[in-house]
Structure 1
Amino acid sequence: MVERLLEWSLRNRFLVLTLALLLIGGGAWAMRGLPIDAVPDVTNVQVQVLTTAPALGPEEVERFITTPVELAMSGLPGLTELRSISRFGLSAVTVAFEDGTDIYFARQLVNERLQGAREDIPPGYGTPEMGPISTGLGEIYQFVIQGDGKSPMELRTILEWDVAPRLRQVPGVIEVNAFGGELRTYEVALRPERLGAYGVSLSQLFEALERNNANAGGAYIEKNAEQYLIRGEGLIGTLQDIGDIVVTSDARDGTPVYVRQLADVRFAPMVRQGAVTQDGNGEVVTGIVLMLLGANSREVVSQVKAAVTDMTPALAKLGVRVEPFYDRTELVKKTIATVAKNLAEGALLVVVVLFLMLRNLRAGLITASVIPLSMLAAFIGMRAAGVSGNLMSLGAIDFGLIVDGAVIVVENVVRMIAERSHRLGRPLDSGERSAAVLEGCREVLGSTVFGVTIISIVYLPILTLTGIEGKMFGPMALTVLFALIGSLVLAVTLIPVLASLFLPGRLEEREIRLLGWVRKHYEPALQRTLRRPRLALGAGMGLFAAALLVAPFLGAEFVPRLDEGALALQAWRLPSVALEESIRQTGEIERALRQFPEVTSVVSKTGRAEIATDPMGVEISDILVMLRPRGEWRTAKDREGLIAAMDSALRARVPGTLFSYSQPIELRVSELISGVRSDVAFKIYGDDLATLERTAAAAVRVLSRIPGAADVKAEQTGGLPVLRVRLDRRAMARYGLNVSDALDAVTTIGGREAGVVLEGQRRFAVQVRYAEDARRDPAQIGALRIRTPAGQLIPLSQVADIRVEDGPSQISHEAGRRRITVELNVRGRDLAGFVADAQAAIAAADVVPAGYFTEWGGQFKNLQDATARLLVVVPLALALIFVLLYVSQGSAGLAGIIFLNVPFAISGGVFALALRGLPLSISAGVGFIALFGVAVLTGLVLLGYAEQRRREGADVLTAASDAARVRLRPVLMAGLVAALGYVPMAIATGSGAEVQRPLATVVIGGLVTSTVLTLLVLPAVYAWMQGRATGARDHANQEAAP
């Protein structure tokens, strides 16, 4: 079928050229609409269930909210993980599903179960709601609202009601999360002494507020043939409206008692659990734009910027402006620039090598035409498959790999035209040239098709990877497959047409001096290996054995870190710290960081925002540090050195605070996927919080002593001071009080919503709260008065025991069980080696009590899972290669000889990693899989010609020798162009180079050894094994051959 396609192409050259033009047009269209991002989105399919419960502490949140939600979610179809965090005023439950589950279907399942969970939660304790549909790559644009002379409350109001609604209209934006500043409320600040003086209870006050904030309709009346609607308007519109509400009548003289007589009515901020600061200059108001799952980040950010530009004149009239401090497109631009630079340099190297080896400009350009056309074919496939253009999908393309099929075809066509024109002593005419092209293509058609097919098929097992590694490398495999399929079709159709049209009728096979020098030294070496095949094979396999011995010492990591051009620090303080103290310390941290010349901006988020997609307490700060380009660094040359310098400065500036260091996307993705923010997580499961805390503290002491451990800390679960108001039911009974009477007073300490005020489209809560000077300490709280049914006012302390106790600050669950986590990062050594030492140290220290169990997680868990899958995928790829070789050669022996290139290639890949000091990683593993196909291709080309010579009547030794000499140039070209295509990736230093480097290093190193051994060992082994099989020449005769 392929041969008929070749013949059809040469008969219909104009049609083939027309189809090529259509390919160019379709590829350009696909490229323009291709979603672009820095890295693939590896976040699992998950739904967050968030419940705000301002009146509840962590234990009550766990008992009354988190547990009912978890029980409701248990048993959902496709559920893979269920974890939760219960903090003061917040429950956050994460429900993770199997990869491939439609996110909207998952949310539908969760929403159906939430209906039952809401019924199990006591009234007034909060309503569970699903969080926004976003991912670890969702935070694409962050900005601050600034305005001279504007208060934090004014800035927050403008963000909430002027900026955020406009940005939410941008296609692809799922939410704009406001953080920082003060959320405006209409506050009724109660004076307890005035309540007592007028004999007013809290229930009377709330009833009055609720009954005096409403509208009503009276249908309509008809008058003079017209219809008049009847409306009764009684909504609160101003502070004065609230103050003028009548609560009751004075029992002494019957005069009305107004709200303003009982409380101070004013604008005040809602009780907050977080704040944002910038550059050590105090608090700011920020907006975080969250992108919808699956949207194109480049387009969404572009439209967000356009919307900000459109709003600028209107905002200027309000006296404010939008100042961005984080823009995902900056990372996208840097990463895509790295990819584009590597691809351009790789393509240039390939073209140069093609020209030098073929010594014919037209032949070189014909071969090189496959590069852009295959790339355009890949763009069409990516657009159809929904694959985005990013570091992994585009960065792993090797143009040398793509042109291998065309290289073999064009090299043989050039040789065929040169031989025929030399034999005829004149240039070939058009018909003779087409016949020579057809014959030259036919001769290598089988090797080319099977070779490129093998290269393509070895990528198929990569598509079976799941989890994070599947999402990272699956798009890469698809993109390469699309490009390879395009290159194979072009090699069979367009390349022969271009060769028949543009190659001259007379060609001379000229070799560059370097190739002549190589051939001069190669042929004697080949004869020596042909005389001693056992020694040659032994040397090759000895090299492989040495590589196997070296491999365990390389170490292992999951995936190299992508340099995002920014750092994400976390500061951990004691759980008892107040928000204002955290803000003060964060300012000190920011000023210390701004002393580093590498830092351009520092923005810190302490605690959590109102939409708590990141449920932190006020003791934790996320600090985003924007950095200058690496070339402008002066404090340190690399990221590790800069972190070490920052850590020393911060520990001296803010003693007692723990720090950990990561990067923005890396931090967010790690937290969403596994619930932890570090390389390694040691999880301890059990029931008693105190025992969990003691065990975690012991584990911290053990792990801190292991070389390579950094940022070691235990999840802070205790140490939060709690003012407990325990009601005495007997004392309450004596006064005829209900529990709700006392709890109303407790709730009003923090603020209780009593309605909403509408200002046009804006909505603001009415909060009733005791005035600040009545709730400063436990004694004042105990003195709060409660009205009995008899009209008597008694202090709260008379019916309750009020005392300060230590309580939990956070309670974490996983799979329904309580859990505490010890988090740490690894610096200066490989991840797998560190965890092996850590596991041994924990086992030796025996820190885990009976009845409790542990688990290792974080990036290490990802490495474990990925390694287990690679142990299946790699043998599968090898098996596929052997099956294809057997099908193409029809002989298990011949397939086995060609298959020897696989261990030869592995040897070079391992040694290349060792020489560069790179550990084994999933990137390197994928590089090995890609390498196998290219290595087999060169062996197939060489031994394919040897089999052809044997069919022509040559003996085995002559066939092997002729094949090695004739196929020297195409084998060198195939190996050289494939290796050189990866050279820019191997030596690149831009954004994203870290991820590409191991893959490129493996392929280059493996191609070096496999190409050398293909030319030296394979012919000898072929002659020896095939000679023995046919009886044409026994081993003794081979040893005696001159």
Structure 2
Amino acid sequence: MFRRLEENNTLAGGGYVVHNNEQRFIRGQALLTGVQDLSEIVLRREADGSPILLRDVAETQIAPMTRQGAVTRDGRGEAVTGLVMMLIGENSREVVEAVKERLETLKKALPDGVTIEITYDRAALIGRTLKTVVTNLIEGGGLVILVLLVMLGSFRAGLITALAIPLSMLFATNLMLATGVTASLMSLGAIDFGLIVDSSVIMIENCLMRLGHNDGSKSRLDIIRDAAIEVRKPTMFGELIIAIVYLPILALQGTEGKLFRPMALTVLFALFGSLVLSMTFMPALASIALPKHIDEKDVWLVRIIKRIYEPLVTRSIRHPLVTTLIAVSVFVTSLPIGYHLGAEFMPRLEEGDLLIEAVRLPTASLEDSIEMSTRIEKELLAFPEVRTVFCKTGRPEIANDVMGVHQTDVWVLLKPHHDWPKHKPRDELIGEMSEVLNSRVPGVAFGFTQPIEMRVDELVAGVKADVAVLLYGDDMTVLGQKAKEIERVLREIPGAVDVKADYQANLSTLRIEPKRDALARYGVDAARVMNVVSSLGGREVGVIFEGRSRFPILVRIPEEWRRNQSRLEQLPVAESGGKPIPLSELATLTLEETPPSVEHESLRRRTFISANVRGRDVASFVEEAQRTVAAKVSLSPGYELRWGGDFENLLSASRRLLLITPVVLLLIFLLLHMTFHSARLGLLIFLAVPMAASGGVFALAARGMPFSIAAGVGFIALFGVAVLNGLVWVSSAEQLRQSGNALSVVTRTTALSRLRPVLMTALVASLGFLPMALSNSDGAEMQRPLATVVIGGLVTSTLLTSLVVPAIYPWFVPKGTATDA
């Protein structure tokens, strides 16, 4: 039958012939066109010449393919879904918009009663996160400009300095376009307008101060030129230090590299534009636009601050040892606090939707899974926060995701937060849903995640969860037993939710194995037996074309024979002496238990236990889980445990940060040494780094945030910003000291004269990040740790520059050059 079907459904080419000097191509076409053609195929002829047709021995009909998946929605029954796959390197927002335009065209060609509706749209999340970024940038820019106008005491000076913001961003966006960096939550999420205007603030502030002290002996242009040259070196090296600390971020690999490289590039582009503007545009514009007559008095806010600051700095200078001990105690106190912060890979981005993984026993049928998914949808739609629910069970014919019919992805699309009856945290909503589903839908294991988060987790470790315990070995029975033991242990650990072992139960499998001796006795090949086996599910023997559509031709044993093992055994496989040989004569049929799937990694069998973490950080959870599993679960030789998921990303990124951070610190110190040609002065400014780190740790602890890679990048950025004020302060002090002033005069004079630029640079940098640190809108979770670290670190580093550096500066003056009176 297989052979006759294949031989009667063919095409052939016969080349061409020349007729009247023209080519005539020859094509042979013996394609089947439908059920009637199939029924008339001659299988063989009897001795009397009568043909045996296909219809004489088989029923020919149009039937559905064996289904491996289904989609249901909102408890109303089955639906059809389509998935748009984006090519690597494309812009997701542009692709989504192009798809929407194409869908509008397709809707016009749909038959009556058929509609296309977009269920999940990633562009909505992109739009919300970009709105958060833009809002934070506008608010941060507004705060920075307000500080400039108030602290500089001159509307013109504040406006000139504020121009650095749009011009630097214009510079950065042009370079982003040239290098293919798109505007996104991560690329724009670390832009701080305070950092961008720092160099311009120092330049314009010094011009104002010198113009205010002008006694008429120099022309206006000469004063501005000298003021620009005076701060040129610390300004340039300060910007270079801030820029250099971002360079090692470009060395991050994997997921963290894809997240933070665009951010580092955007900041570097903006800083480069800011540096160029501060050296060229700002002095030129200052010479034109600054007021001709400037009052030497400080603005009212600086005068108030100085009244408080002057006695404090005087005491610090008189008691340098006490001041140093206080600073050291602050740093030492931060060490145990930092150790107990906990850690996670990245803050969880609130996507606005949920994805629930529902898993039944591997023996579940597709029909039962459809009934279960409909029940789940009805239960979830009872929540007022839910907009729509659809379930994808199993896999489609063109599988982009390998899933069995016992596995269902439940997509829960939520309403906007302002439409909820009352505000509640995401974890609270998940807890309520979990309680309802576990109590009302028995026999199903549920795991809660988010659409994009699930896909990232699955790509990293092949598991749709925060933590994956990967168990390697050879014996699937042992792997299954140990997986269940580990599952029980993990359930006891605080913070563990949605814990489940992948290997839950075996499948009942009918194994058909040829008898070699019987095959030899009857002279039958094993392939004949395997043809019968393949016919149980459907053996494809050709294709029927209807226009552009293609329909496979399948030979399948009738269902009543497939269901009954005793009838299966009687299936004829071949004949001998004119008598049929049944399957039971040529093969052994054994009903046995087999694993539902066998996964491999690095040429080894593996299974996994997955868990989500709520109410605590991932690092401390895994640390406790590793200790507990090691104590309670014993593994035989040849079996190995590995911890994956988000924790694996955290380890990889942390190791790279441990390599990058010393490089960053070394580069900072080398630049400081190059600035002053003195290791002692470089070390004095470098003290801002540990003090800034202390402030970052205190800020994270105060807000209950664990350490994350976003916070780690914040610390790296903070180190560059922290030394800028110290650099400006020491540069001014060195100019006074080299002019022959006594050290006591130098420290006091510099402390008071540099208070305004120190406060301004710290305020604009911290206030520029303030909206990011306080924002609760979509996408702010990724910005919050970074902004929190920078703001907290700037507080302590500014106190160091204002109080500690003046007190200990005489200790670090290069030997043989100090003077005092």
In 2, distance between residues paired with 1:483 and 1:227?
A: 68
Do residues 335 (structure 1) and 129 (structure 2) align?
Answer: yes
Question: 1:279·1:591 contact (CA, 8 Å) conserved in 2?
Answer: yes
* Displacement of 1:730: 3.4
CA contact (8 A) 2:151 2:301 kept: no
Could you tell me how far 1:489 is from its partner in structure 2? Answer: 0.4
Task: Identify the match of residue 59 of structure 2 among 261, 264, 274.
Answer: 264
Q: Which runs of 4+ in 1 moved over 6 A?
A: none
Structure 1 position 590 matched with structure 2 position 377:
yes
Could you tell me which residue of structure 2 aligns to residue 668 of structure 1? 455
Superposition TM-score, scaled by structure 1 size: 0.76
Cα distance between partner residues in 2 of 1:1015 and 1:348: 26
Q: How far apart in 2 are the matches of 1:436 and 1:636?
A: 59
Partner of 1:77: none
Find the aligned partners of 2:195 and 2:578 in 1 and give their Cα distance: 90
Whichever residue aligns with residue 801 of structure 1, its letter is: T
- Give the alignment partner of residue 238 of structure 1, picking from 34, 37, 42: 34
Q: Does 1:461 align with 2:248?
A: yes
The answer as to whether partners of 2:483 and 2:503 remain within 8 angstroms in 1 is no
Alignment partner of 1:747 out of 534, 548, 554: 534
919-928 or 210-219: bigger deviation: 210-219
Q: Which residue in 2 is equivalent to 1:391?
A: 185
- The reply to whether residue 960 of structure 1 matches residue 756 of structure 2 is no
| Alpha-carbon distance in structure 1 between the residues aligned to 2:690 and 2:16 | 90
Which one-letter code corresponds to 2:410 in the other structure? I
1:384 Cα deviation after fit: 2.9
What is the aligned counterpart of 2:560 among 756, 766, 773? 773
2-side partners of 1:609 and 1:276: how far apart?
Answer: 9
Quote the offset at 1:639 in angstroms: 1.1
| Partner amino acid, structure 1, of 2:145 | V
1:500 and 2:287 are equivalent in the alignment:
yes
Q: CA distance change for structure 1 residues 777 and 517 in 2, over 3 Å: closer, same or farther?
A: farther
Q: How does 1:413-492 map to 2 (within 5 A)?
A: 413-420=207-214, 423-424=215-216, 432-492=219-279
Q: Which amino acid aligns with 1:374?
A: S
**Cα offset, 1:1002, TM superposition:** 0.4
TM-superposition CA deviations, 1:238-269 (whole Å, max 9, x none): 22222222222355x53333323333323222
Post-superposition shift, 1:966? 0.9
The correspondence of residues 922-1001 of structure 1 with structure 2, limited to 5 A, is 922-1001=709-788
Letter in 1 for 2:158: G
- Alpha-carbon distance in structure 1 between the residues aligned to 2:159 and 2:466: 48
Query: In the aligned structure 1, how far is the partner of 2:664 from the partner of 2:188?
Result: 22
Secondary structure of 1:1010 counterpart: helix
Partner amino acid, structure 2, of 1:904: M
Tell me if the contact between 2:681 and 2:814 (Cα under 8 Å) persists in the aligned partners.
no
User: How far apart, CA to CA, are the structure 1 residues paired with 2:816 and 2:293?
Assistant: 42
What letter corresponds to residue 261 of structure 1 in structure 2? Answer: D
Equivalent runs, 1:74-153 vs 2, <5 Å: none
How far apart are residue 879 of structure 1 and its match? 1.2
Q: Could you tell me whether the CA contact under 8 Å between 2:482 and 2:633 is conserved in 1? A: no
| Matched ranges for 1:615-1014 at <5 A | 615-634=402-421, 637-716=424-503, 718-1014=505-801
Deviations 1:130-162 (A, max 9, x none): xxxxxxxxxxxxxxxxxxxxxxxxxxxxxxxxx
- Aligned match of 1:29: none
SS of structure 2 residue aligned to 1:949: helix
CA–CA distance in 2 between the matches of 1:220 and 1:1024? 100
Counterpart residue number, 1:604: 391
Amino acid at match of 2:30: G
1:636 is displaced (CA, Å) by: 6.1
**Deviation (angstroms), 1:1024:** 4.2
Distance 2:17 2:660 in 1: 79
Q: Name the residue aligned to 1:357.
A: 151
The one-letter code sitting in structure 2 at the alignment partner of 1:289 is: V
Contact 2:394–2:405, Cα closer than 8 Å, also in 1: yes
Instruction: Measure the CA separation in 1 of the matches of 2:109 and 2:812.
Output: 83
Q: Distance in 2 between matches of 1:778 and 1:335?
A: 59
Asked whether the 8 Å contact 1:600–1:628 carries over to 2, the reply is yes
AA matched with 2:595? P
Calculate the aligned-residue CA RMSD, in Å.
2.0
Q: How does 1:50-61 map to 2 (within 5 A)?
A: none
Deviations 1:195-219 (A, max 9, x none): xxxxxxxxxx122211111233444
Q: Distance in 2 between matches of 1:521 and 1:1014?
A: 16
How far apart, in 2, do the equivalents of 1:732 and 1:626 lie? 58
Q: Deviations over 1:351-408 (max 9, x none)?
A: 1111111122221111111111111222222233332322111111111011100011
Q: String of CA shifts for 1:503-558, please: whole Å, max 9, x gaps.
A: 22222245443322111111111111010011111111110111112111211111
Change (3 A) 1:232 1:685: closer
Distance (whole Å) between structure 1 residues aligned to residue 633 and residue 716 of structure 2:
41
Please say if residues 485 and 633 of structure 2, whose CA atoms lie closer than 8 Å, have aligned partners that are also in contact: no
In 2: Cα distance, 1:780 partner to 1:1003 partner: 75
For residues 224 and 692 of structure 1, the distance between their equivalents in structure 2, rounded to whole angstroms, comes to 76
- Taking the TM superposition and a 5 Å limit, the aligned residue runs for 1:291-330 are 291-316=86-111, 320-330=114-124
Matches of 1:1027 and 1:535, distance apart in 2: 23
Partner of 1:400: 194
- 1:248 and 1:258 in contact (8 A); partners too: yes
Name the SS for the 1:459 alignment partner.
helix
SS at structure 2 position matched to 1:267: coil
Distance 2:32 2:167 in 1: 68
Q: Retained in 2: the 8 A contact 1:567–1:664?
A: yes
Structure 1 residue 734, shift from structure 2 partner: 4.5
**Structure 1's 636 and 368: CA in aligned 2 closer, same or farther, altered over 3 A?**
closer
Write out aligned runs for 1:498-577 (5 A): 498-509=285-296, 511-577=298-364
Q: 1:928 is aligned with what amino acid?
A: F
Distance apart, 1:883 and its partner CA: 0.9
Q: 513-522 or 713-722: which moved more? A: 713-722
C-alpha distance in structure 1 between counterparts of 2:445 and 2:573, whole Å: 44
Q: Residue 248 in 1 paired to residue 44 in 2?
A: yes
Residue 289 of structure 1 and its aligned partner are, at CA, apart by 0.8
Q: Where does residue 212 of structure 1 map in the other structure?
A: 8
CA distance in 2 between counterparts of 1:935 and 1:571 reads 49
Between the aligned partners of 1:1011 and 1:1029, the Cα distance in structure 2 is: 29
After superposition, the Cα gap between the structure-2 partners of 1:226 and 1:853, relative to the gap in structure 1 and judged at 3 Å, is closer
Deviates more, 1:300-309 or 1:974-983: 300-309
In 2, the alpha carbon distance for the partners of 1:230 and 1:910 equals 82
Corresponding residue SS for 1:614 = coil
Give the drift of 1:225. Answer: 5.9
| Superposed counterparts of 1:2-41, under 5 Å | none
Where 1:810 maps in the other structure, the secondary structure is: coil
Judge conservation of contact 1:565–1:626 (CA < 8 Å) in 2: yes
TM (norm. structure 2) is: 0.97
State the shift of 1:1031 in Å. 5.6
Amino acid across the alignment from 1:211:
E
SS at match of 1:387: coil
Q: Is 2:70 aligned against 1:275?
A: yes
For 1:365 and 1:377, how far apart are their aligned partners in 2?
19
Distance 1:994 1:604 in 2: 28
Distance across 2 between alignment mates of 1:655 and 1:717:
15
| Residue number in structure 2 paired with 1:143 | none
Task: Provide the C-alpha distance between the structure 2 equivalents of 1:245 and 1:635, rounded to a whole number of angstroms.
Answer: 69
Identity %: 50
